[in-house]
Structures are given as structure tokens and as C-alpha cells.
Structure 1
Amino acid sequence: MKKIGITGQNGFVGSYLYNTLGLSSDKYERIPFQRDFFNNEEKLDEFVGQCDVIVHLAAMNRNSDPQVIYNNNIDLVKKLIASLEKTNSKAHILFSSSSQEEKDNLYGKSKKEGRELLADWAEKSGGKFTGMVIPNVFGPFGKPNYNSFIATFCYKLTNRESPVIDNDGEVKLIYVGELVKEIISQIEAEKDLNFYEVPHTSVYKVSEVLKKLENYKQLYFENGEIPVLESTFDLNLFNTFRCYFDIKNHYPVKFTQHTDPRGAFVEVIRLGIGGQCSFSTTVPGITRGNHFHTRKIERFAVIKGKALIQLRKIDTDEVLDFYLDGTEPAYVDMPIWYTHNIKNIGEEELYTIFWINEPFNPEDADTYFLKV
């Protein structure tokens, strides 16, 4: 079992990597890291000494003073190297560099020089080193105005603001989940690669991405319709967009009921893609679910009875409670990486319709059980 530590564990890529490694707890042991370890030699040495693999993601991306970015990033690399030398570590170090290396700015310079410093350490010490040069990364939970233009666009569109395009160039992109798979494959390969250019998985103009996101806003954010998703990029972009909702205030969404003397008619979901639709009956007091997905889109629609739907992002403690009543049919959609459940809190049977965007495959279920 490999013992893996991640500097920048709580950052955008770091948290996704940390959580993904946790899905394979039989193969990997995660060694916890905290940002203040860089300011405490004893704690940093203890962390480094435990690790078979260290993925160095900690870095500063933005600051009003580029020199501060450069100094910070080089300082972090030097502190890590000092600890590696002090503990006589032979760990495999993976370093997150950037396509900015080739540009004339201090951030790119800090990444290139940091990569070279770690490569020198590996050559002198007999350790392993992989310098990963990474294209533009996007995905759920990235910080707007910091991690990517996609994070900024998603935030603005879901907060009734208007995104602005500064430069409508073509951008090479990789989804954070794809990047994490690439990092894990490099961990498994255990090869020395001083310069490894991580291949991008898509190329789009900034305006093309914005057009897709504006479509998602109109169809899904405003009308609850699942849009046509023609590619893996579309699915990843849509799941990214969904993570910027103010979930507490957006759900539950009440359906429009059409009533006449015969009863009522309710449209549960309108979609540009297929998937699987099912329903369940649940007796009073019973809870279903307590699992999460990393790629699936899922809707719970209560049409009869009283239910409590609970959501919790897996690396947080906050539980979101949504109360639904079949007398006013409503739905809640499940964001990826949120564990969720549904409980019958009424005195009669609960009727729930479930829709998910792909048929259940027991060999690739994308379903991970974790109590809310």
C-alpha cells in the first residue's frame, strides 16, 4: 500500500485527488497535510518521513504583486527539498507545473525553476521525480477569479452576473477528474520524468465555452431541463456548472401541477439526453441512499408522502436538509461528490421517482456508500 501525501491537499486539484485516492483505500494510504506544515520544520519532516509519494501542488497562482508569487512558490519548493534531505527521503515526488512555463511571467518562471530544483534533488539523492506540465484545469469547486475562467463564468451566471471575455483565444483544457487519473497513473508508473507534458483533452475558444454555459443557465438553472450533452467535455462542463448553485436556496424546486376533475398531471423531467427512470415506495421511518457519485446526474422527485432529503459534500460537515411533500410535488438534484439520502418522515408510504443520466452498470456503478 502506497503512502501518499499531497501538499495543497485542501486546494482545487488537491482536494479532488485526496478524495479520489480515498475511493481506493485498499491501495493507498493518505498521509494528511496542513498548510502550516511549511512553517513548522518538525511537522513538515514528520509528514515527509511518512510518505512513499508526495504530490506537490501547494502554490500561489494570483497576487497583485507577481514577485510575491515567485518568492512564495520557490520558497515552498526549497522548504520541501530541505525536509527531503533532512529525512533522507527516497519518495517519488510529483510536481505540478503549468503551461505558463513557456510564457514570460514570474508565475511561469517560479513553476519552471521549482521543477528544475526538484529534478536536481532527485538526481543527487536517488529519489524519483515526475515534473508534470499541466494545461488549463477546470472542474467542480474551483475558486472563481482564481482557478479558471470557467469557475468565474459559472459563478457569475448562477449569481445573476454577466461574464466578460477579456481575450477570446483558444484554450487547451483538462477536467480535474481527468487530471487526477493522470496523476494516479504517474504514481503507479514510478518513472523519472523531469518534463512530462500532460495532454489536454479538449480545445475551445473562450466564447464557445461561455455559449455552452449560457445554454445551461437558461435550460437547467432557470427551467430545470437537462440539456443535450454530446461529449465527455459537455458532461464535465455541465457537472462543473451545477456545483456553483446556491443549493440551500435553490432546492427543493416545486413542479407545475396541471389539475382537472380527474386529478393532477406533473412533468417530472424534460431532457435532451436519455438515462434511466425508476420509482420507489418507502415505508415510514426508512432511509434510502447514503451514497455519492463522481460523474452521474441524478434527480429525486417526491410525488406522494413526506420526505426528508439530505445532502453533504463529502469533505465537509454541513448537512443540508430539504423537506418535500407530495401534496406539492417537488424535486432535488444531486450534485456530484455530495453524499445524499431520502427518508420517509410521514405516516404513509412515500412515492419517489428517480432519474439518472446513465443506466446502472454494476461493473462501473459510480456509487460510493457514505453516511450523510
Structure 2
Amino acid sequence: MKIKVGITGQHGFVGKHLYNTFGLFPDDFERIDFEKHFFEDDKKLDFFVSECDTIVHLAAVNRHDSEQALFDINIGLAQKLVESLKRTESKAHVMISSSTQEDRGNLYGKSKKEGREMLAKWAEEYGGKITGLIIPNVFGAFGKPFYNSFIATFCYQLTHGEIPSIATDGEVKLIYVQELVDVIIHEIRKGNSKPEFVVEHTATKKVSEVLALLNEFRSKYLDSGEIPAIKDRFEHNLFNTYRSYINYETYFPVKFTQHTDARGAFVEVVRLGIGGQCSFSTTVPGVTRGNHYHTRKIERFAVIKGKALIQLRKIGTDEALNFYLDGNQPAYVDMPIWYTHNIKNIGDEELYTNFWINEFFDPNDADTYFEEV
């Protein structure tokens, strides 16, 4: 039986990743949509709550000009959810995102702790379930700069011609957003009540270490088109995070440097700091390849002969990006994570395309999800 799951804060940073990941498991989860204005309408909030087997409460304010206002908003949202759970006599499994800042004495941490305890009290008194997620610093693709994390801010600045600065160079405990999503889904499947569940961080880095890596990504990837050396899972996740802040509409397609002489032309397709799999395809006129997306893979399409239309569309949005490439001026487009993409031969001759992807194809873990652009 499918688990009906709803996410308050569905359109926020973690909420979007969680919502999209639920979509990868249509046989296991049914997504109940949530909108911010439900908190201002008891009937709509009650309908949402009554429809859900599991509610992931992510709606909160992370930053505000007034700490007291931030505290009041976060407590108010938790209170409204509790009141709705009571009115509807819900027995749902409620998961609430809290923070490792709970015990730091600031009003943000206090608001998260009191909200978690409020829902734990409801679960104990009314027979519901509670998972109080105490979460370290989260980073990942599409985070809001100057709001969600210092990594989001640095990535935005380094892809928009700005120079980041470090206020305090301390060590930070980090978790990648998809790793957090995997933890949440695992706990939903288990279905146990855990009023205080500490989510383990997956990396500890100094702020300066992170900035040094991001500067390397800018120098090698953005300035030179090189895929940088990626030593571990953290660096892989950080690179995909960095790539998500590039303005694809203006950066791609990137034309190759051609070296020509009497014999013909030579083009270097990809310079790698990591391994992976290279492949080559021919495509007859009018045929489209692809229409799928990846959640972790790094991929490059390089057109070397013929005319092609490469299309990208971010999952959850309607706008497609169109890139026209011609083998007379060989060029490439890299595929961002969570963008469905395709390539179509729009010419009158065969299309020749080189593909590079950072990992070998594994049919048991393909990280390939089909969706029309």
C-alpha cells in the first residue's frame, strides 16, 4: 500500500529535493501537495493533514531581520500544525526538521527545539508518531544563496563574477541534501517514533577548505572546461552543487578549440581529472535520444558532426532550455543533475555525438529516470 506523504515547505530547498525524490518511487509513495497559504486557512490545512499518512514538517524561517519574529513565526507554524492534527484526530507519522543549533542559546535554535517538543507532546497524548530530526548544516544543488548555507552563497558568487569572503573560518559539520533525503525516506519506511533523532553529518570541513575547492572548480571547470579531480563523495556532491549555480542559458554551448591543417581538424573533447565512460553515437535525421535525467551523474554531450538541438528542463518546472549545435563549430553542453534532457538530429545528415559520463553504466543502479523534456 502506498504511503500518502505531504511536505510543509514543499517549495523550499530541502522540500523540493524530497518531493522530487518521492516521485522516483511511484509504487511506494503518493505525494499530497502542500501550499504555503494552507497555514492561513484551517479548512485547507485540515484537508491536507487528513489526507496524509506521513507529514514532513519543513516549513520554517531560517533568517529574519528580527530574531524574535523568526522565533514567533517558527513556533506559530508548529502550533498551527499541532492544532490541525488535533482537529482532524490524525494518527499520522509527523517528521519535523530541527537543527544542531538547538542548544546554542539563539532564538532560532530555541524555536526549532520547542517546535519539536510541541509535536512530540501531541504524539504522546494523541497516539500519533513523531520523528524529531536534528539536522547538521545542509548543502546541495539549488540552495538559496545568502540564506540556506555559506556553500550556496560561495557557489553563487563564484559563478556570477563575485569574490567570496570568509567571516569565520571554523569547522562545519555538513550533510548533502540528497543524503538527508535518503535518511528521511528510510525513517518513513521504518515508521518508528523517535522524538529526538540526530542525523549524522557526512563531512567535517573548514570554511576555507570548501572555498579552496570551489575556487578550483571555477578555475578548471568554468574557465577551462576541464572536469576537475574529484577525490571522494563529498567533493562529488560539492561539484554538482557548484554546477547548479551556473547560468546555463548564457554559458552553454561551449565551443571547442579546433586545430586545423592540411590533413583536417583536431578537437580535444574532454580533459578529465577523473575517469568515467566515453561513448560515441550516430543519429539519423529527425530522431531524438534521451528524455531522461540523473540525480548524481556528471555528463557531457559533444556534437562533432551534423546539427543538433539539445534541450534541458529542470524537474518540477515547465520551461525548456534550447541549445543549437553545429558540427562545423564543434561544441558541448554538460547536463546538470535533476534536469531531464535530450538531443535531436535537426539536420539533413547523420549526427555524430561524443558522450562522456563520470561513472560506468550499472543496470542495477543506473541513476537514469525517464521523463519527456
TM bracket, shorter-chain basis: over 0.9
The aligned counterpart of 2:359 is 358
Q: What amino acid does structure 2 have at the position aligned with 1:241? A: Y
Separation in 2 of the partners of 1:328 and 1:337?
28
Separation in 2 of the partners of 1:272 and 1:92?
45
Aligned-CA RMSD value: 0.4
Q: How much has 1:104 moved relative to structure 2?
A: 1.3
Q: Does 1:184 align with 2:185?
A: yes
Separation in 2 of the partners of 1:141 and 1:46?
30
Q: How much has 1:280 moved relative to structure 2?
A: 0.5
Separation in 1 of the partners of 2:166 and 2:118?
36
Q: How much has 1:191 moved relative to structure 2?
A: 1.2
Q: How much has 1:102 moved relative to structure 2?
A: 1.1
- Counterparts of residues 312-351 of structure 1 (less than 5 Å): 312-351=313-352
Q: Percent identity?
A: 66
Question: What SS does the aligned partner of 1:233 have?
Answer: helix
The aligned counterpart of 2:165 is 164
Question: What SS does the aligned partner of 1:24 have?
Answer: coil
- Counterparts of residues 1-372 of structure 1 (less than 5 Å): 1-372=2-373
Separation in 1 of the partners of 2:331 and 2:237?
26
Q: Please give the TM-score of this superposition, normalised by the length of structure 1.
A: 1.00
Describe the superposition over 1:18-77 as per-residue Cα deviations: whole angstroms up to 9, x where unpaired.
000100000000000001000111100000000000000000000110111100000000
Q: Which runs of 5+ in 2 are unaligned?
A: none
Q: Which runs of 5+ in 1 are unaligned?
A: none
Separation in 2 of the partners of 1:360 and 1:116?
45
Stretches (4+) displaced over 3 A:
none
Separation in 1 of the partners of 2:233 and 2:322?
31
Q: What amino acid does structure 1 have at the position aligned with 2:227? A: I
Describe the superposition over 1:183-206 as per-residue Cα deviations: whole angstroms up to 9, x where unpaired.
011111111111111000000000
Separation in 2 of the partners of 1:14 and 1:274?
33
Q: Please give the TM-score of this superposition, normalised by the length of structure 2.
A: 0.99
Separation in 2 of the partners of 1:39 and 1:141?
27
Question: What SS does the aligned partner of 2:148 have?
Answer: coil
Question: What SS does the aligned partner of 2:71 have?
Answer: helix
Describe the superposition over 1:168-221 as per-residue Cα deviations: whole angstroms up to 9, x where unpaired.
000000000000000011111111111111000000000000000000000001
Separation in 2 of the partners of 1:95 and 1:233?
25
Separation in 2 of the partners of 1:267 and 1:324?
17
Question: What SS does the aligned partner of 2:279 have?
Answer: strand
Q: What amino acid does structure 2 have at the position aligned with 1:64? A: D
Question: What SS does the aligned partner of 2:24 have?
Answer: helix
